[in-house]
A and B are shown apart, each in its own frame.
Chain A
């Protein structure tokens, strides 16, 4: 039986079930992905791993629906069934519609595209390759998943209370990273490509750091939109350079508890600036991002951070690849409420190393080891071992 299943995986004709014959004016297809992930850490699981267990198993099934109506209209949806958008968030299992969009491309060239729905942010260069098949790693870069002492739930009473969070273990239910994964918030965007230039602008209902529950328009609404954009330049096929920006409210809930009298949550913004570069040639691919982010914290002031990563992937054979990523985050000071200044978060270094093997066009195995060092008494696990098997169909 096991042998039959293995053969089925290897022999499965990738990819996509076409719901209508090819060549029709309407083209509809269903494709999917099954990810089986495991995480083993030597302490409190880091980043956006919500489980308290040091060994955690996370199966995930994803279904993708693509519908083309002629060459100018396109609709897409991604549904997932798993133990939470972030592993362990819903340990009992849950299904969600994570992405859906309707796109209009008025011309035959990609110069203008307009889309609306719930979809990945245009910020940076990591999100375009965040799905398991395209990401050489199992986890995201540090800026996209390392939770900080920043919260979207309540305003701190003062600098003392805010800084006191540094000594606590990560409270992932209320704390935020700089960017929450692919940030599938709801809204609309306009984007396109003209010769060597790309552009993309979006208006979304929630900030880059917002948690998945805030991405749904029916949960948070559009009363405090976030504006993001990216301008890209490709000197040639090998290089892709970009600058991204984003600004918008990051707190949710109205009224937000603890805000100074006379202020509203929209008065406190997250403003983020990013520079990205990628290079590829032959079997080598390199990516890098530098992200500067400022949270305006009620009763405290501006909390600034700088994050960056450099990532390399090399295909050793047609099936085997290796990848290495160096991530760091640095944090500025805020007034400590006692006349001085204090660094508002602990700086962190993380090195990710991964190997992957593609057995076929539909089956991939990955193994990742991460070492992290944080200057904090409440440091998360320093070592993480993760495995992932991905089957596409």
Chain B
């Protein structure tokens, strides 16, 4: 009887662990740079300004009631070549983000976004980078007070199921629970494409966001 119970328990745990699927696909990206051309009316930078990061998408699944502990390790939003790197970063609510400076000049990262309003002040390379805990879901648009062409965004999400696309727009969400959920593709502060999806245990669901023409946007 005991042996049977253990076997049943093992079966239940194993089937629970496997009750997950994969969602993957592509998002059609504009390929546009996130920031404007660098302009300096009265001053000069120490080095060459890198190309502005290209706009990427963040795909995330809204799973009601499921919350995971945010990562214990801080996530990095670098300033390098007078640009934010990466240009788009997605994190779970409660994640600590650090902002190291890899340039020879100062940066002064700030945001006046509703999700987080802050000014990190001027900090240099090799200095202990300032850190923030992003405790409210939403978009945190990043700027540098000194280098006005710099643009970055941190998307703070209430779900652990998210992925940032690569430059070709590809994404993959693994370990997704089975069920019917809303899948979102965030492209910019004005555009999020939404689609209802049904995830099946052990299967890979392909969802392509081919642009605003075929999907609803908010």
Q: Which of A55-85 contact B (CB under 8 A)?
A: 64, 66, 68, 74, 76
Q: Are B105 and A109 in contact (CB under 8 A)?
A: no
B15 at the interface (CB under 8 A from A): no
Q: Assuming A15-B148, A237-B106, A318-B117, is B46 touching A76 (CB within 8 A)?
A: no
Q: Are B31 and A281 in contact (CB under 8 A)?
A: no
Q: Assuming A23-B32, A109-B47, A318-B110, is B122 touching A282 (CB within 8 A)?
A: yes
A-chain residues with CB within 8 Å of residue B148 when the two chains form the complex: 15
Q: Assuming A27-B36, A237-B106, is B44 touching A198 (CB within 8 A)?
A: yes
- A to B contact number (C-beta, < 8 Å): 86
Q: Assuming A282-B123, A360-B112, is B32 touching A22 (CB within 8 A)?
A: yes
B42 at the interface (CB under 8 A from A): yes
Query: Bound state CA distance, A129 and B41, in angstroms?
Result: 10
Query: Bound state CA distance, A68 and B37, in angstroms?
Result: 8
Q: Assuming A109-B47, A193-B45, A237-B106, is B112 touching A361 (CB within 8 A)?
A: yes
Q: Which of A213-253 contact B (CB under 8 A)?
A: 234, 236-238
Scan B34-62; emit 1 where CB is below 8 A from any A CB, else 0. Answer: 01110101111111100010000000000
A16 at the interface (CB under 8 A from B): yes
**Cβ-defined partner of A22 (8 Å) among B33, B45, B106, B119:** B33
**Cβ-defined partner of A128 (8 Å) among B43, B46, B48, B52:** B43
Closest residue of B by beta carbon distance from A128: B42
Interface size class of A (residues with CB under 8 A): 35 or more
**Cβ-defined partner of A29 (8 Å) among B31, B36, B43, B125:** B36
Query: Bound state CA distance, A55 and B37, in angstroms?
Result: 41
Closest residue of B by beta carbon distance from A358: B112
B2 CB → nearest A CB, Å: 62
Q: Are B119 and A315 in contact (CB under 8 A)?
A: yes
B124 at the interface (CB under 8 A from A): yes
B180 at the interface (CB under 8 A from A): no
B-chain residues with CB within 8 Å of residue A167 when the two chains form the complex: none
Query: Bound state CA distance, A234 and B96, in angstroms?
Result: 33
Q: Give the secondary structure class of B's interface.
A: loop
Query: Bound state CA distance, A238 and B104, in angstroms?
Result: 10
B202 at the interface (CB under 8 A from A): no
Scan A183-197; emit 1 where CB is below 8 A from any B CB, else 0. Answer: 000000001110100
Q: Assuming A16-B36, A21-B32, A68-B37, is B45 touching A280 (CB within 8 A)?
A: no
Q: Assuming A318-B118, A360-B112, is B124 touching A237 (CB within 8 A)?
A: yes
Query: Bound state CA distance, A21 and B32, in angstroms?
Result: 8
A283 at the interface (CB under 8 A from B): yes
B111 CB → nearest A CB, Å: 8
Scan B13-43; emit 1 where CB is below 8 A from any A CB, else 0. Answer: 0000000000000000001110111010111
Could you jot down 22 A-B contacts, CB within 8 Å? A16-B36, A23-B33, A27-B36, A29-B36, A68-B39, A74-B39, A110-B45, A129-B42, A195-B46, A198-B44, A237-B104, A237-B124, A237-B125, A238-B106, A238-B122, A281-B122, A283-B119, A318-B110, A318-B118, A318-B119, A319-B119, A360-B112
Give the top 6 A-B pairs by smallest Cβ distance, nearest first.
A318-B119, A282-B121, A128-B42, A237-B124, A27-B37, A283-B121
Instruction: Kindly list 14 other residue pairs between chains A and B, CB separation below 8 angstroms, not including A110-B48, A193-B46, A280-B106.
Output: A23-B31, A29-B36, A66-B37, A74-B39, A76-B41, A108-B48, A195-B46, A234-B46, A281-B121, A283-B119, A318-B110, A318-B118, A358-B112, A361-B143
